[in-house]
A and B are shown apart, each in its own frame.
Chain A
Amino acid sequence: MLDIKDLHVAVGATEILKGLSLSLKPGEVHAIMGPNGSGKSTLSYTLAGRAGYDVTEGSILYNGEDLIAMPTEERAAKGIFLALQYPVEIPGVTTMMFLKTALNAQRRARGESELDALHVLKLVREKAKALNVSEEMLKRALNVGFSGGEKKRLEILQMAVFEPQLAILDETDSGLDIDALKIVAEGVNRLRSPDRAMLVITHYQRLLDYIVPDRVHVLAKGRIVREGGKELAHELEAKGYEGIAA
Chain B
Amino acid sequence: MSVGPSPLDIFRAKGVPHRRMEDWKYSDLRSVVDAEAIERTQDADATIEVPLGIRRVDFENTDVPRWLTKRLPALKAIGAMDAAARTYDTAGVAFLVPAEMRVDDPLQLDILSSGHKQFALVLEKGASLTLVETHRVAGAGLRNVSLSLFLEEGVQLTHIREAKFSGDLVSVETISVIQEEGSRYIARFLTGGAKLSRTEVNITLAGEGAEADLSGVSVLGDKAHADITTRIDHAVPNTTSRQLFKKVAGGKSRAVYQGKIIVREGAVGSDSRQTAKALLLSDRAEADLKPELEILADDVKCAHGAAVGDLDAESLFYLRSRGIPESEARGLLIHAFLQEVVDGIEDEGLRGAAVEFIDSGLARAMESAS
Contact = CB atoms under 8 A, between A and B. Distances in A.
Nearest to A110: B323
A93 B329 CA distance: 11
B324 A105 contact: yes
A88 B315 contact: yes
B6 interface: no
A46 interface: no
A92 B335 contact: yes
Task: Give chain B's interface residue range (CB within 8 Å of chain A).
Answer: 20 to 34
Contacts of B320: 49, 71-73, 76
Interface string A51-82: 10000000000000000000111011100011
Contact of B323 (A90, A91, A109): A109
Contact of A102 (B315, B324, B335, B338): B324
A103 B322 CA distance: 8
A73 B325 contact: yes
Given A72-B320, A76-B320, A105 B335 contact: no
Nearest to A45: B317
Contacts of B67: none
B314 A76 contact: no
A158 B322 contact: yes
Interface string B313-350: 11101111111111011001101111110000000000
A106 B325 CA distance: 9
Given A73-B326, A101-B332, A90 B315 contact: yes
A50 B332 CA distance: 19
A92 B321 contact: no
Interface residues of A, number: 29
B332 A72 contact: no
State the main secondary structure of chain B at its contact with A. helix
Contacts of A102: 319, 322-324
A149 B42 CA distance: 65
A48 interface: yes
Contact of A105 (B314, B323, B340): B323
Given A91-B336, A101-B332, A48 B324 contact: no
A87 interface: yes
B323 A77 contact: yes
A102 B329 CA distance: 10
A208 interface: no
Nearest to B318: A88
Contacts of B332: 93, 101
A84 interface: yes
B276 to A, nearest CB: 17
Contacts of B336: 90-93, 141
Contacts of A101: 324, 328, 332
B56 to A, nearest CB: 41
A72 B321 contact: yes
A221 B338 CA distance: 43
Contact of A92 (B324, B325, B339): B339
Contacts of B324: 73, 101-102, 105
Interface in B338-368: 338-340
B91 to A, nearest CB: 43
Nearest to A83: B321
Interface in B54-70: none
Contacts of A91: 336, 339-340
A84 B321 CA distance: 10
Contact of A82 (B314, B321, B328, B329): B321
Nearest to A106: B323
Interface in A144-199: 158, 162
A48 B325 CA distance: 14
B339 A162 contact: no
B337 A84 contact: no
A131 to B, nearest CB: 17
A71 B320 CA distance: 9
Contact of B317 (A50, A81, A103, A106): A50
A224 B322 CA distance: 28
Q: Closest 10 interchain pairs by CB?
A: A92-B336, A76-B323, A92-B339, A106-B323, A102-B322, A72-B320, A88-B318, A105-B323, A73-B320, A105-B324
28 contacts: A48-B317, A51-B313, A71-B320, A71-B326, A73-B320, A73-B323, A73-B329, A76-B321, A76-B323, A77-B323, A88-B312, A88-B315, A90-B315, A90-B319, A90-B336, A91-B336, A92-B335, A92-B339, A92-B340, A93-B336, A98-B322, A105-B324, A105-B328, A106-B323, A109-B325, A141-B336, A158-B322, A162-B322
